[in-house]
């Protein structure tokens, strides 16, 4: 067994090093994290078996000696997975080692490890996702794991003007008489679009990970110290997490509209099924919603080979408030690091906030070819988020007064119109409360207690939901939306924050349960993180990491998170074949064409960075 296990690891390492598809073992009945377990942490597996009585289990070491044993807990039929399952808890085993196997009845797991920090590398690989999706600069061989991941700069001189003409719904947009240099930033997902509302929440998540680590003053404060990540900025004396976030912030700043500009935009709710009515506004200080290709491009396509014109799309209140929020966050973090940049961020933030107050309900046009819509119908949550960030940075009491008028003030993630609390590009109120709760000196003492208590209450509901799941993840029900894995990681951020406030290990254990799920403890026995585990997904919907479509293109690097199961919007050609044939957690395919199931995106990888850094900080 020892020799077979070592050979398997070597083969996987060679496959990764040379960028060839990894031959994977068959799915097994014993599902657990494929990365391993913490020495003192929770250790839980789910076993698919219809037995109505507990099954005997034992863990054996590399020599075959039994080191732990017990009986499974019968869970029974699990709605989300569509399977009859048992759970096995072997947390009592706390001896570091490799090559352990869990044997449950007639089922046997693949070898697994127990170590102090099994997730230590994940935070760096998850962060590397962002460097490798930078626009405007070449991706250098010196900063990637394999030579085939290096590429020429995509869109290195991106001077774009506004969309002009008829959209796909026939609405005629007048365009504009200026161009903006919007070179840089991150490609959003599988396409080459760059979207402010997704960029904003992704930057916030990275910067919150930094602020959380600084506030805690634990070992995580040095996790991304200068030189810890492989990026061109390493060696500049600045935390690498901040360097990566700044690359996107500088792009967001470029998307702001000059003063004096008038724009024709849709304002407020409009009659469904009718062409949009456009209204002229003073757009100075507003922010363009996105920049992307005039038409959709195909797969595969290296960014440098993109033949389509690049266009700016009309401003929105949502995009404008994203810049207001992230600009304020930037201003306080860079205040001592780079005062000039901090002032630039705060000036842009306050300009954006004033513009949003002037134009409170400008909605994004949703009928443009070449990119995603990222629409929103309610900006009250973005106003709360931006106001919270501006207050946290400036401590101006006028912002606190405004905050107190919001229905979300001091609210936890599950408040107002959010049914789940999972932060996303169209639901950002939770970010404001998390900022106020992270910075211990921002609020009056009683208000700090309240906002933290509301966040903890949401976290408790997530923990309780996990008890009703055969695979233990802190999610209730069997509705899995587009990007369910990213939503789960965002939920884990709330759970991790609750642990920081309370020290209650139930919350940290729930973070582990969420991470275990994406790393293999799921009904498909699949790691949803590239390069991690025995059965990692390998074929994301991505124009450059497109080896499945063309062997001349690379497989993905390690550390990218698949969007995950989706039984609510099964709109691509692969997903359509699964409609009516899959339980919620099994509506997924490792296929480059399955964009509704297997795309990758910055807003899903950003909370993965947060969670991996959190887990390794204790």
Q: What is the pLDDT of residue 219?
A: 80
Q: What is the pLDDT at residue 273?
A: 84
- The per-residue pLDDT for range 585-614, each reduced to its tens digit, is 999 999 999 999 999 999 999 999 999 999
What architecture (CATH level 2) is domain 197-443?
Answer: Alpha/alpha barrel (1.50)
Point out the residues that are catalytic.
191, 541, 590, 599
Contact between 62 and 99 (Cβ < 8 Å) = yes
Among positive and negative, which fits the CA dihedral 488, 493, 494, 499? Answer: positive
Tell me the average pLDDT of the chain: 95
pLDDT in tens, 277-329: 999 999 999 999 999 999 999 999 999 999 999 999 999 999 999 999 999 99
Residue among 560, 559, 568 nearest 599 (CA): 560
Predicted confidence band at 419 (pLDDT cuts at 50, 70, 90)?
low
Q: Beta strands 112-115 and 97-104: pairing type? A: antiparallel
Phi and psi at residue 210, in whole multiples of 5°? -65, -50
Mean pLDDT of 262-281: 94
Is 529's pLDDT higher than 70?
A: yes
Distance CA 269, CA 377 (A): 8
Pick from 7-16, 30-39, 399-408: least confident: 7-16
Q: Which residue has the tokens 């998540």?
A: 205
H or E element: which one contains 330? Answer: helix 317-333
Residues 492 and 430: their CA atoms lie apart, in Å, by 13
**Cα dist from 85 to 308, 469, 595, 596, whole Å:** 50, 10, 30, 27
Q: Where are the alpha helices (DSSP H) in 113-271?
A: 122-132, 196-216, 240-254
pTM of the model: 0.96
373 neighbors 281 (Cβ within 8 angstroms):
no
Report the alpha-carbon angle 538-541-547, nearest 5: 50
Q: What's the CA gap between 124 and 219, in Å, rounded?
A: 15
| pLDDT tens per residue across span 157-204 | 999 999 999 999 999 999 999 999 999 999 999 999 999 999 999 999
Q: Check residue 8 and give its pLDDT.
A: 34
The Cβ of residue 559 has, within 10 Å, a number of other Cβ atoms equal to 25
pLDDT recorded at residue 422 = 83
**51: Cβ–Cβ under 8 A, 6 or more apart, which residues?**
74, 86, 105
What gap in Å lies between CA 337 and CA 239, rounded to an integer?
10
Residue whose C-alpha is closest to residue 11's, from 22, 1, 25: 22
- Supply 347's token pair: 């000036």
466 CB burial (10 A radius; 0-12, 13-18, 19+): buried
């Amino acid at each position: 067994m020892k020799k077979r296990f070592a050979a398997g690891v070597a083969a996987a390492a060679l496959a990764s090093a040379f960028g060839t598809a990894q031959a994977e073992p068959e799915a097994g009945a014993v599902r657990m994290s494929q990365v391993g377990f913490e020495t003192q942490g929770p250790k839980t597996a789910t076993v698919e078996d219809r037995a109505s009585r507990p099954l005997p289990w034992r863990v054996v070491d590399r020599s075959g000696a039994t080191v732990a044993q017990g009986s499974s807990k019968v869970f029974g039929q699990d709605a989300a997975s569509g399977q009859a399952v048992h759970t096995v808890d072997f947390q009592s085993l706390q001896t570091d080692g490799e090559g352990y196997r869990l044997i449950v009845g007639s089922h046997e797991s693949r070898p697994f490890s127990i170590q102090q920090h099994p997730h230590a590398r994940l935070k760096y690989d998850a962060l590397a996702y962002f460097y490798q999706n930078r626009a405007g600069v070449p991706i250098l061989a010196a900063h990637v794991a394999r030579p085939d991941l290096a590429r020429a700069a995509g869109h290195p001189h991106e001077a774009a003007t506004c969309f002009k003409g008829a959209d796909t719904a026939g609405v005629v947009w007048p365009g504009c008489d200026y161009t903006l240099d919007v070179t840089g930033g991150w490609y959003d997902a599988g396409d080459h679009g760059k979207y402010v509302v997704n960029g904003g929440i992704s930057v916030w998540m990275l910067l919150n990970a930094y602020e959380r680590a600084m506030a805690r003053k634990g070992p995580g404060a040095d996790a991304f110290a200068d030189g810890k990540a492989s990026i061109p900025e390493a060696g500049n004396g600045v935390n690498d997490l901040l360097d990566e976030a700044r690359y996107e912030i500088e792009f967001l700043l470029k998307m702001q509209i000059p003063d004096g500009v008038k724009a024709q935009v849709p304002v407020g709710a409009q009659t469904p099924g009718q062409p949009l009515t456009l209204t002229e506004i003073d757009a100075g200080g507003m922010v363009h919603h996105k920049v992307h290709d005039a038409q959709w491009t195909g797969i595969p396509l290296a960014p440098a080979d993109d033949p389509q014109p690049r266009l700016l799309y009309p401003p929105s209140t949502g995009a404008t408030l994203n810049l207001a929020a992230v600009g304020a966050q930037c201003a306080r973090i860079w205040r001592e690091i780079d005062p000039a940049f901090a002032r630039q961020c705060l000036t842009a933030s306050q300009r954006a906030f004033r513009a949003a107050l002037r134009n409170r309900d400008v909605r994004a046009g949703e009928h443009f070819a070449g990119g995603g819509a990222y629409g929103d119908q309610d900006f009250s949550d973005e106003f709360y988020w931006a106001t919270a960030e501006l207050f946290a940075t400036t401590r101006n009491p006028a912002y606190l007064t405004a905050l107190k008028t919001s229905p979300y003030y001091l609210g936890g993630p599950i408040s107002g119109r959010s049914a789940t609390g999972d932060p996303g590009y169209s639901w950002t109120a939770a970010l404001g409360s998390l900022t106020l709760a992270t910075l211990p000196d921002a609020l009056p003492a009683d208000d700090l207690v309240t906002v933290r208590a509301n966040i903890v209450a949401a976290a408790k509901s997530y923990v309780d939901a996990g008890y009703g799941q055969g695979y233990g993840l802190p999610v209730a029900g069997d509705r899995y939306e587009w990007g369910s894995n990213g939503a789960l990681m965002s939920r884990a951020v709330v759970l991790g924050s609750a642990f920081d406030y309370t020290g209650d290990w139930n919350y940290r254990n729930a973070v582990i349960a969420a991470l275990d799920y994406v790393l293999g403890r799921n009904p498909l026995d699949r790691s949803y993180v590239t390069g991690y585990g025995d059965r990692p997904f390998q074929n994301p919907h991505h124009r450059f990491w497109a080896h499945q479509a063309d062997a001349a293109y690379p497989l993905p690097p390690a550390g990218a998170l698949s969007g995950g199961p989706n039984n609510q919007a099964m709109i691509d050609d692969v997903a359509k074949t699964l409609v009516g044939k899959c339980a919620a957690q099994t509506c997924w395919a490792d296929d480059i064409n399955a964009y509704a199931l297997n795309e990758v995106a910055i807003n899903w990888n950003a909370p993965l960075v947060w969670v991996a850094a959190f887990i390794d900080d204790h």
